[in-house]
Structure 1
């Protein structure tokens, strides 16, 4: 059994999380239909921009239907022993919000361009409400970095 690394400070954990959101590409996205519908999870690529995550998926897939119906989402980024867990509120972007520069930035970050994919794709904006990050059990205490959409005091 390997020895766990020392726990990071909350300030370091927040910085590591922000760095990760800037460089990572993929997240596990978990949704459920409104009124307690069936849970569904799938990997999606994302763009971190303006303190929000942006994802895109085919309009007919369960994640898209659930996001439209409930507006709630959970995301997991990273391996289980270095995870960022995000609870968020979600909204579909209007056609006016999907500008060419935005769609180009998404395609560059995600490594695929929904505009060139089969079927209609929808873009979603996810506003984090709660963010947690931990590596090992020694970081479970203090894993909350954001609550109610506000970063906690990390000093």
Structure 2
């Protein structure tokens, strides 16, 4: 995309975001601890058509912060095609996670975090329900970048 290209419509941006949710494998996850110290890590994710599912150790800084705050910010890594999600977070232990969600995760990645449930550092699942989504391809698309607000798509 070039700076002099016409900005995408809200509908096109939504379609582009949905395509990336299906195609990408990693997403950046930003959190902060109780002292405000930020953490930024890339994690595998799975999109279920409504929410973004993550899995990480519950004892990791990211796991603790997502669980404690109940919200998170996620983004794809390409700065020429920015997508930022802000969402509410629901935390599930390996025993509490909906079976369909965990099975879909294992099918996508060939790895099942539930197997670590008896570990001293078990994994947890985090369901991130997007509340706001921003998408833009450079300065010429800053106007109109809010493609979701209050959990509803703009188009």
Normalised-by-shorter TM-score class: 0.7 to 0.9
The answer to whether the aligner puts 1:75 opposite 2:77 as a matched pair is no
Preserved CA contact (<8 Å) 2:97 2:125: no
Residues 33 and 139 of structure 1, relative CA distance in 2, 3 Å threshold? same
Q: CA deviation at 1:73?
A: 0.5
Q: So what's the TM-score if we normalise by structure 2?
A: 0.86
Q: Is there any run of 5+ residues in structure 2 with no aligned partner, and where?
A: none
SS of alignment partner, residue 81 of structure 1: coil
Q: CA deviation at 1:116?
A: 4.1
Q: Partner of 2:152 in structure 1?
A: 150
Distance 2:39 2:111 in 1: 22
Residues 76 and 110 of structure 1, relative CA distance in 2, 3 Å threshold? farther
Distance 1:107 1:124 in 2: 14
Q: Partner of 2:126 in structure 1?
A: 124
RMSD: 2.0
Preserved CA contact (<8 Å) 1:46 1:109: no
Residues 65 and 96 of structure 1, relative CA distance in 2, 3 Å threshold? closer
Preserved CA contact (<8 Å) 1:53 1:126: yes
SS of alignment partner, residue 98 of structure 2: coil
Distance 1:40 1:138 in 2: 30
Q: Partner of 1:86 in structure 2?
A: 85
The answer to whether the aligner puts 1:44 opposite 2:43 as a matched pair is yes
Q: CA deviation at 1:75?
A: 0.4
Q: Partner of 1:20 in structure 2?
A: 20
May I ask how many residue pairs the two structures share in their alignment? Answer: 150
The answer to whether the aligner puts 1:102 opposite 2:104 as a matched pair is no
Q: CA deviation at 1:112?
A: 3.5
